[in-house]
Amino acid sequence: MKPKKIRIIAHGGAGSENEHSDGTKKAVETCYKEVQKSTSLIHAVSLAVCVLEDDGRYNAGSGSHARANGKIEHDAAIMDSEGCFGAVAAMKGFKNPIQAAKAVSKTKYRILAGEGAAKFAQDLKLEPTHLQNISGGGKDFSTSPTTDTVGCVAFDGTSFVAALSTGGMAGAHYGRVGDVPIIGSGLYAGPDGAVATTGDGEAIMMKITAYRAYELIQKGVSPQSIVDEVINWFPTDAFGLILLSHKGSAGGSNRSMAWSSREFG
């Protein structure tokens, strides 16, 4: 039997250090191993994002930057090409927000926010984070307005999946929700490909970026040409993206960005 064609890309966010691509490589390998075990692609991608959330060097999960009030809030989302989408927004208190987003995708809801999202995650017994307890005492959180969400896109020969997780823009007002949990803004997956972006969330949202990049995939534009074109939509704001289509894969950013990609099969 011919081995499955698998393509995976992970990023550590626009603004993340290029040298931190050992973390994105680990995420890609984790996703690959899970796909080999015949785990569903959406689950395999969520585990890759967990690796990035647990890394501590990226602005997501354990590495999340604080809001202006010193507290940590997370946005996360996951989508597949079969029409499954789930997200959490401004959620506090959980180690792996991507797991909460994946769980939302299995319900009749598409986005849960704030306290409701936290109660949902608590009811599922998702692992709490230690961050809330040490916020304001012990750990010196960065509140500089840097970016660097984490993301992963994957293709297993049949389905495409895109996922993102972030602590949001450091120093932003609490309750601020960026592009990450907004379908078609931070991410999009469909039968022709998957896109995950990173950078200034407000600018990304206003350009409906991921969906418009997906439309270029549908038109048959090559992955690298899409990356080059879409980066040009952001002449001043921090921006990066990774994408996959039946034609291949590409990624890029207008500043440093840790990212890794692999094709298998």
| Euclidean distance between CA atoms 52 and 258, whole angstroms | 11
Tell me if 81 sits within 8 A of 189, measured CB to CB: yes
- Half-sphere exposure in the Cβ direction for 78 (13 Å, CA): 24
3-state SS assignment for residue 185:
coil
Task: Tell whether residue 162 is a contact of ligand ASP (CB under 6 A).
Answer: no
Q: Is the CB of 34 or the CB of 201 nearer to ligand ASP?
A: 201
Active-site amino acid positions? 149
Copy the structure tokens of residue 68. Answer: 């202006």
Q: Is the CB of 147 or the CB of 261 nearer to ligand ASP?
A: 147
Q: Is the CB of 199 or the CB of 251 nearer to ligand ASP?
A: 199
Per CB under 6 A, the list member of 147, 159, 245, 260 interacting with ligand ASP is: 147
Per CB under 6 A, the list member of 76, 117, 161, 180 interacting with ligand ASP is: 180
Q: Is the CB of 35 or the CB of 164 nearer to ligand ASP?
A: 164
Task: Tell whether residue 64 is a contact of ligand ASP (CB under 6 A).
Answer: no
Find how far residue 112's CA is from the centre of its chain.
Answer: 17
For β-strands 248-253 and 257-264, DSSP reports them as unpaired
Task: Tell whether residue 154 is a contact of ligand ASP (CB under 6 A).
Answer: no
Copy the structure tokens of residue 182. Answer: 């907004």
Per CB under 6 A, the list member of 12, 23, 178, 223 interacting with ligand ASP is: 178
| Closest residue to ligand ASP: CB criterion | 201
- For ligand ASP, how many residues bind (rule: CB under 6 A)? 18
Report the C-alpha dihedral over residues 29, 101, 5, 248, rounded to 10 degrees. Answer: -100
Stretch that binds ligand ASP, among 87-95, 146-154, 222-230, 243-251 (CB under 6 A): 146-154
Task: Tell whether residue 34 is a contact of ligand ASP (CB under 6 A).
Answer: no
Helix ranges restricted to H, the chain: 21-36, 41-55, 97-105, 114-123, 131-134, 201-206, 209-218, 223-232
Per-position DSSP letters for 193-259, written without gaps between them: EEEEEEE-HHHHHHTTHHHHHHHHHHTT--HHHHHHHHHHT-SSS-EEEEEEETTEEEEEESS-EEE
Q: Is the CB of 35 or the CB of 168 nearer to ligand ASP?
A: 168
Stretch that binds ligand ASP, among 28-36, 64-72, 141-149, 250-258 (CB under 6 A): 141-149
Per CB under 6 A, the list member of 13, 63, 184, 193 interacting with ligand ASP is: 13
Per CB under 6 A, the list member of 24, 96, 149, 209 interacting with ligand ASP is: 149
| Euclidean distance between CA atoms 75 and 86, whole angstroms | 11
Chain residues that interact with ligand ASP, rule: CB under 6 A: 13-14, 59, 75, 147-149, 166, 168-169, 178-180, 186, 198-199, 201, 204
